Structure 1
Amino acid sequence: MSGRRLEQQYLKLLSQFGLLEVATTLQELADQLCCTRRHMRSLLTQMYSLGWINWQAEAGRGRRSYLQLLRNEHQLLSDKADKLLDAGCFSEAIELLGEEKQLIAPLLRAKLGYSIRADHQTLRVPYYRTMPNLYPGTPLRRSELHLVRQIFNGLTRINEEKGEVEADLAHHWRTLEPLHWRFYLRPAVQFHDGRELCAADVVASLTRCAQLPLYSHIGQISQFGTLGVDIQLTEVDNHLPLLLSNIEAMILPADHASRIAFAAKPIGTGPYCVAENDDWHLRLKAFDHYFGLRALLDEVEILMWPELSVSQPLDKQQNHLLKSVTDSAKHTPEISTDTATWLSSSLSDVDYAAGLVAGFTGKPSDVFSEMFLEKGGYFLLCDSRSSFWQGIEQRRWLREKVSPHVLLRQLVEPIRHFWVPTGSLLPTWFHCMMPCNSESPFQLEQNTKPVLRLAYHKQHPEYHMLTVLMANVLALEGVELETVALTYTDWADGNADVDLWLGTVNFAVPEAWNVGCWLLGTPLLRQSISGGDIAQLNDWMTKWRNNTINAEELMRFATTSGWLQPLFHHWMRLKGPEQAKGIHLNNLGWFDFKSTWIEPEL
């Protein structure tokens, strides 16, 4: 009998008897389902093996047997969805639940951690939001930057241990002339769909990225033989191999623009390919034909936890923080935290410190596998197009009123130790604004309350908390803070009429290099760090390429002039199961999938 038919028969019995134990006979049950006694006995055997019923048969004329149904309709539905999830059929499970999608969350909780079946190793990680865009060359957030490096390759890559550029898709390169470079491609490299990489793919990819500011000095790209690529520059750039290791220069299939849903399910040449990507999970599978060393983990599944991005208003967090610890313990299902892999970027610090998700993160007092101060941090950016910040005195006023030390005192006490006030975006740098007087940007005699408009990107668990703190501080000055939530693309492109931008950034290895790329390559930063001076920005770009200005000098100008105002470094944490080997926290708050593996239990 098909599974669906057996369910229908079970539901008929459920509508008749409910979940109470009943005394009945095999013949009475057969009459209920309009079948023979022999077939009824087979149905009971199947239902018992699935754990749906208790059946105590009694032999003899006049003797009655005892039946108890153990699953209500919701539980039966959950059981079936659970089996689909075990098989990796997330879409089918969610479709099955239909209007009962709230049942998926507890089922997903049970799938966290790792599994080893027939030597097939899967590691599952919770995360608070979906990741529908994995398209190199578009604005990407921190987690997407990490994932793209698992899916794609560039001509070159960075050795994270040494911080040096090394061969990737190109096995060798050389400078023919100061403005002429040649790269030689590895043979027989395959895309995830089985097609071999060719020079035409590289030409198309680099032609595309040449439209971006950092690559605007790439003049002409041409094919040299079957596996050679020539690059002609308009400006000397001795760091071209380093530049080509950036995410924007990842190599895509030449026809990527015509492929359906490429952003969510891209095709690359990296150690992992995207098997599924939907509203509930992202599943990456090891690519068996990867040209490098085959990944050790067979699958990585990122399970989406949308409710983790919803925080209570700050006043409620403060009033109910201790109570939440007790309440959450009552409602959180029992989960083995020893098998869970958890990242500090998976949820807000408030939710973590309050114990709201202790079921899969462990207690806040637990020791982390790894923990270090992030290479990056939270910041405010004064929009150079706003009339409020045209003088450095006004930008200094903002720094004094919304300084990280003022905000820190208002943070909920249990999370303060995760936040470190800063003067720059790398922990080893320190910058202060140039000494000068401060002056309010608002006219005191105006009749209406002045309003500052601040933009941040959606789906970040800490922004609501920070903007509430800022609003409280500015309200003491008689200023109203109005917030605007944007898509990440609009935020990164600076597409909003606002006065301030709130953001956070993390820099991969080599950190200083990536700081410079971020400042000079991100439209939002480019429009304001120079105060809107395009000539100054172009001069920096030329000096950056010929190595007469470095990232620390660029950051010093942006911060001492008050356009960029760093706020906090954050402590990044990783907790993995003891069985996970080779799992190490990187600068983007994740870990390299291909070098992680699960040691089987004896």
Structure 2
Amino acid sequence: MRQLNRLNQYQRLWQPSAGATQHITVNELASRCFCSERHVRTLLRQAQDAGWLSWRAQSGRGKRGELTFHVSPDSLRNIMMEEALKSGHQHNALELAQIAPQELRTLLHPFLGGQWQNDTPTLRIPYYRSLDPLHAGFLPGRAEQHLVGQVFSGLTRFNGNSSEPTGDLAHHWEVSADGLRWHFYIRSTLHWHNGDKVETAQLQSSLIKLLDLPALRRLFNSVLRIDVTHPQCLTFVLHKPDYWLAHRLASYCSRLTHPDRPLTGSGPFRLTAYEPDLVRLESHEQYHLSHPLLKAIEYWITPQLFEQNLGTSCRHPVQIAIGEPDELANLSLVSSSTSLGFCYLTLKQSPRLSQMQAQRLITIIHHTTLLHTLPLDENLITPAQELLPGWTIPGWPTLNTVALPETLTLVYHLPVELHSMAEQLKRYLANLGCNLTVVFHDAKTWDGCSALADADLMMGDRLIGEAPGYTLEQWLRCDTLWPHLLSAPQYAHLQATLDAVQIQTDEQARHAGLKAIFTNLMENAVLTPLFNYQYQISAPPGVNGIHLNTRGWFDFTQAWLPAPNT
């Protein structure tokens, strides 16, 4: 990048005197800039023409000229960054910022939050990590799950925080009396992000590919086939009723991509950059529903900011700040909530761990100070009292006389708070004569975890989508945890019970059935929630329409910026 090279050379000229006038030879300047005398003269001439400095040379070899600076490298960097952003060259702006990681926080401040540039309302969100690749099916990260919902569409969708699905690519749907045929009537005005018209056969093709994925095959195990029964109608033929079908199709894992272009969707925003340091979304002008007011969303991914304590724009991944949080006077909390999602503990009952021993372990967790004394940031977590609202944790009589096993093995995966939980539990159990071996699976899911087979206890994180009850049904069907946790007969019985619940036409009856399943798991000391997170979003003045959703993010289609003063 030519601008970056020029800025680096200017920094070398400036640095020895910190901007004070210098009396120096061309040879010394060339040595400082690691170039020839001829090249340094060119640099000086270009910088002088740009108004950065003045160079008064003295005639005669070895004579000292006078070098006067008119602009600091920091201010010059800001000017270059602003020019790059106005020109739509976000990568150049980030590259310019990264030449001085120690000062990155200050440098990025003028460009974060809501900005109007070239009459384009743009929201820039600093983020603490690179985003994982987007692909069909399940994704482990909340940020990626949320992003999929902004870029891709499904046949159905959840509107806001409603747990009831509504039409998306399908305008509406009809279900046959026996529940075995579902007709989804496709809108006639659909377009992919590249401008091509969406064909119903393309949606069929994408759905068939989706159902070829093992986890999605388990989720849609009632689907026999998908037919194009009319140019604007897709028909799902089932071999057993599934009244969760519209919910399954509305979930982020069922969003549809172009069959030949996996990053091309038909959602409200299209991807124009998906790089380790920058993700940029631009509004889709041919979107079939309400158009967003923002033209562009950018994630500026700057891990340097977060290496010490998860850093500046994000005290924690569940506490997002749009803009520069160090400027507390300009940032305010605009939305907060307690997550419905939870970190959990599961207990595998076996000859090593009886049900009463498992119950005592759960009692220790919920009826001691263990959860309340975790060394975590204040207002980050809330100890759980129920799995979902109204799905309360069971209580048992005093179990202090129940002896714990001499040894147990705990396997856990991310998030990082479970590091603290594992160590706290290990210390607590050691005082009770139980040696807990702790194994960390460095991932956000159980996929590929070979240690599950020998684990007595497992800790993980259960994200909750827009339909909490259905999300937990999906968890039982698809997560690789359950076949390792339950015996083969228990797992088969669980799946059969889920099948019996899904054929209930009444939504309340299905929720009652799910509640009974999870109540049974909790009462049998197979599962207990540990804690929920406190979701927070802060923003500077002028960023409007931000309301937390169930994933701890906000709907980009609802955010807006007031027009700049004219």
TM-score bracket, shorter-length normalisation? 0.7 to 0.9
**Which amino acid is 1:505 matched to?**
R
Does residue 566 of structure 2 align to residue 569 of structure 1?
no
- SS, match of residue 244 in structure 1: helix
Q: Distance in 1 between matches of 2:15 and 2:532?
A: 59
Instruction: Tell which deviates more after alignment, 12-21 or 131-140.
Output: 12-21
Which residue number corresponds to residue 257 of structure 2? 252
The Cα of 1:97 is off from its aligned counterpart by 8.4
Which residue number corresponds to residue 173 of structure 1? 173
The Cα of 1:584 is off from its aligned counterpart by 0.9
Which residue number corresponds to residue 336 of structure 1? none
Does residue 233 of structure 2 align to residue 228 of structure 1?
yes
Counterpart contact for 1:158–1:164, Cα < 8 Å: yes
Does residue 363 of structure 2 align to residue 400 of structure 1?
yes
Instruction: Tell which deviates more after alignment, 94-103 or 571-580.
Output: 94-103
Q: Distance in 1 between matches of 2:40 and 2:269?
A: 53
Counterpart contact for 1:380–1:565, Cα < 8 Å: yes
After superposition, give the CA deviation of every residue in 1:407-428 in whole Å (9 maximum; x if it has no partner).
233234861x443222322244
Counterpart contact for 2:544–2:561, Cα < 8 Å: yes
1:474 to 405, 408, 429: 429
Does residue 546 of structure 2 align to residue 546 of structure 1?
no
Counterpart contact for 2:411–2:451, Cα < 8 Å: no
After superposition, give the CA deviation of every residue in 1:150-208 in whole Å (9 maximum; x if it has no partner).
11111111223543321110113222452112212112411222332222222223324
The Cα of 1:239 is off from its aligned counterpart by 3.6
**Which amino acid is 1:205 matched to?**
S
- SS, match of residue 135 in structure 1: coil
CA separation of 1:8 and 1:379: change in aligned 2, threshold 3 A: closer
Instruction: Tell which deviates more after alignment, 89-98 or 121-130.
Output: 89-98
Matches for 1:37-186 after TM superposition, within 5 Å: 43=46, 45-48=48-51, 52-53=52-53, 67-69=67-69, 84=84, 87=87, 89-92=89-92, 107-160=107-160, 162-178=162-178, 179-186=180-187
CA separation of 1:244 and 1:35: change in aligned 2, threshold 3 A: closer
TM-score scaled by structure 2? 0.80
The Cα of 1:278 is off from its aligned counterpart by 2.2
Which residue number corresponds to residue 270 of structure 2? 273
CA separation of 1:3 and 1:202: change in aligned 2, threshold 3 A: closer
Which residue number corresponds to residue 432 of structure 1? 394
Matches for 1:164-563 after TM superposition, within 5 Å: 164-178=164-178, 179-210=180-211, 211-255=216-260, 262=262, 266-306=263-303, 345-346=317-318, 360=325, 368-383=333-348, 388-389=352-353, 391-403=354-366, 405-412=368-375, 415=378, 417-432=379-394, 437=399, 439-443=402-406, 450=407, 452-457=409-414, 460-478=415-433, 479-489=435-445, 491-492=446-447, 495-497=450-452, 498-525=455-482, 527-528=484-485, 533-547=490-504, 549-550=510-511, 551-563=514-526
After superposition, give the CA deviation of every residue in 1:88-138 in whole Å (9 maximum; x if it has no partner).
545456667899767766544553212101320111222222222322313
- SS, match of residue 379 in structure 1: strand
- SS, match of residue 398 in structure 1: helix
Q: Distance in 2 between matches of 1:477 and 1:55?
A: 77
Instruction: Tell which deviates more after alignment, 223-232 or 79-88.
Output: 79-88
- SS, match of residue 406 in structure 1: coil
The Cα of 1:442 is off from its aligned counterpart by 2.2
The Cα of 1:505 is off from its aligned counterpart by 2.7
Counterpart contact for 2:501–2:510, Cα < 8 Å: yes
Counterpart contact for 1:128–1:347, Cα < 8 Å: no
CA separation of 1:582 and 1:411: change in aligned 2, threshold 3 A: same
CA separation of 1:526 and 1:244: change in aligned 2, threshold 3 A: farther
The Cα of 1:594 is off from its aligned counterpart by 0.9
Counterpart contact for 1:453–1:499, Cα < 8 Å: yes
CA separation of 1:472 and 1:177: change in aligned 2, threshold 3 A: same
Aligned sequence identity (%): 24
CA separation of 1:148 and 1:513: change in aligned 2, threshold 3 A: same
Instruction: Tell which deviates more after alignment, 420-429 or 232-241.
Output: 420-429
CA separation of 1:202 and 1:520: change in aligned 2, threshold 3 A: same
The Cα of 1:538 is off from its aligned counterpart by 2.1
Which residue number corresponds to residue 337 of structure 1? none
TM-score scaled by structure 1? 0.76
- SS, match of residue 111 in structure 2: coil
**Which amino acid is 1:600 matched to?**
A
The Cα of 1:483 is off from its aligned counterpart by 3.0
Q: Distance in 2 between matches of 1:169 and 1:71?
A: 54
After superposition, give the CA deviation of every residue in 1:438-462 in whole Å (9 maximum; x if it has no partner).
744524xxxxxx35232213xx343
Q: Distance in 1 between matches of 2:117 and 2:340?
A: 37
Counterpart contact for 2:269–2:284, Cα < 8 Å: yes
Q: Distance in 1 between matches of 2:14 and 2:432?
A: 65
After superposition, give the CA deviation of every residue in 1:341-377 in whole Å (9 maximum; x if it has no partner).
x6863569xxx9xxxx995265599862222222122
CA separation of 1:566 and 1:72: change in aligned 2, threshold 3 A: same
Between the two proteins, the alignment pairs up a number of residues equal to 538
Contiguous gaps of at least 5 residues in structure 1: 58-63, 318-327, 333-339, 444-449
- SS, match of residue 467 in structure 1: helix
